[in-house]
Amino acid sequence: TVRRLRPHATTIFSEVTQLAVRYGAVNLGQGFPDTDGPPSMIEAAVRAMREGHNQYPPGTGVPELRHALVAHETAHTGLVHDPDTEVLVTVGATEAIAGAVLGLVEPHDEVAVIEPSYDSYAATVAMAGATRRPARMVRSGDRFRLDVDSLRAAFSPRTRAVLVNSPHNPTGAVLPREDLEQIAALCREFDAIAISDEVYEHLTYDDNEHVSIATLPGMSERTLRISSAGKMLNCTGWKIGWVTGPAGLIAGVRTAKQYLSYTAGTPLQLAVAHALSHEDEWIRALRVQMQDRRDQLVGILTGLGVDLAVTQGTYFLTADPRPLGVTDAASWCLELPEKVGVAAVPFAPFTDTYSAEWSHLVRFAFCKRPEVLAEAGRRLQGLA
Ligand code: PMP
Ligand code: GLN
């Protein structure tokens, strides 16, 4: 492995999932749902295959999906993008993030990354050979906010981009409009772009509303808005994602994407297009269902004496297991599948510069059927 990728050798998700499989553990580590997306979407995929849509799609994505994406985005955010030049279908959000960084960031540029962050961000900046400048989130009462001063300190005249993620993995925070406005002000001041990972855009709970940074003043021309069918339609294994933004920036992402994967599965793109056009109700219902699952897992973990932050969005709960006598959260997570039959992921791999502030925390995913969460609860009793 090349030196710049050595710190990123194995993702925590594959490590924990392997342990979960080996020990038959309930996997509350890697975030994926255990029920399927809308039946009509699955039928549309099968139909597309039977009807012979099995060869390469156009490089930017099938027109049906690009049009459906634009309509869906306009309905939910008010943004209006041109389906031909301002939309790109990718192999999951992961490739959209990588394509944005590889296609738009020079090796002498800097990229601001807010810790803790989804693990692909740091690896992708490393692949581009650029410099990562860390900022951080902070706990504010029972939830997490952006530490605006840390982000200001991470910006410089060499900043090309900031990676933004709200709803936020792993903390479950939904950044309030004021925090996004501060990020936007820095982007405008330093003439930087925002690479905005919004894969959990529809999964916000209680009265928390998702705001896209692309909708703030002066930001539509400097934001790449990334999302994915995986989290929107319970099909993480399909790996259909996308990015929208101004044509000039999309062109850079497209250039990189052409040589990463060229294209993503044709029948799956057609099925996601069908779902975006016909399953808005299903997407709305998923939010209610996930909120119930959050509440179920909150009940289980609180009952054990674990300290929890409030989850405003995403699939994840932030847990502080120190009241259970846990001193090293990373080792605890690696032992948990064998000892108790439940898997969770530690925060440590989501951090680097600020790891000391986060390494005692653990992320539990609640995107599972109620009976599965209940079984995890029974097994976790073994900790008490
Ligand atoms: N960003 C975040 C914040 C995520 O949690 C994930 C995992 N869904 C991704 C990106 C990657 O998404 P995809 O599986 O569509 O590549
Ligand atoms: N996004 C999911 C998570 O954060 C899955 C990540 C992965 O498997 N790479 O758990």
Model pLDDT, residue 130: 98
Contacts of 326 (CB under 8 A, 6+ apart): 332, 360
**Mutation choice for ligand 2 from 32, 95, 226, 316, CB with most ligand atoms inside 8 A:** 32
pLDDT at 382: 86
pLDDT over threshold 90, residue 384: no
When pLDDT is averaged across residues 145-167 and rounded to a whole number, the result is 98
Same fold, 3-37+281-383 and 39-279: no
User: Is the separation of the CB atoms in 315 and 366 below 8 Å?
Assistant: yes
pLDDT tens, position by position, 159-170: 999 999 999 999
Q: From ligand 1's centre to the CA of 93, what distance in Å?
A: 5
pLDDT digits (tens, 9 = 90+) for 239-293: 999 999 999 999 999 999 999 999 999 999 999 999 999 999 999 999 999 999 9
Domain 39-279 annotated CATH 3.40.640.10? yes
DSSP per residue, 26-44: EE-SS---SS-S-HHHHHH
Ligand found nearest the CA of 92: 1
Q: What is the pTM of this model?
A: 0.98
With contact defined as beta carbons under 8 Å apart, do 45 and 267 qualify? yes
| Nearest ligand 2 atom, CA 118 | 4
* Percent of the residues in the chain that have a pLDDT greater than 90, as a whole number: 98
Domain 3-37+281-383 in CATH: superfamily? Answer: Aspartate Aminotransferase, domain 1 (3.90.1150.10)
Q: Are strands 193-197 and 223-228 parallel, antiparallel or unpaired?
A: parallel
Confidence check: pLDDT of 36 > 80: yes
Mutate to test the pocket of ligand 1, among 69, 114, 210, 228 (most ligand atoms within 8 A of CB): 228
User: Three-class SS of residue 2?
Assistant: coil
Testing ligand 2's pocket by substitution, the residue of 8, 13, 197 carrying the most ligand atoms inside 8 A of its CB is: 13
Predicted pLDDT at 10: 87
Closest residue to atom 15 of ligand 1, CA basis: 92
Question: Which residues form the pocket of ligand 1, taking CB atoms under 6 Å from any ligand atom?
Answer: 92-94, 118, 165, 169, 197, 199, 228, 230-231, 236, 241
Residue ranges of the domains in the chain? Answer: 3-37+281-383, 39-279
Interval 75-117: pLDDT, tens: 999 999 999 999 999 999 999 999 999 999 999 999 999 999 9
Predicted local distance difference test score (pLDDT) of residue 378: 97
**Beta carbon of 169 within 6 Å of any ligand 2 atom:** yes
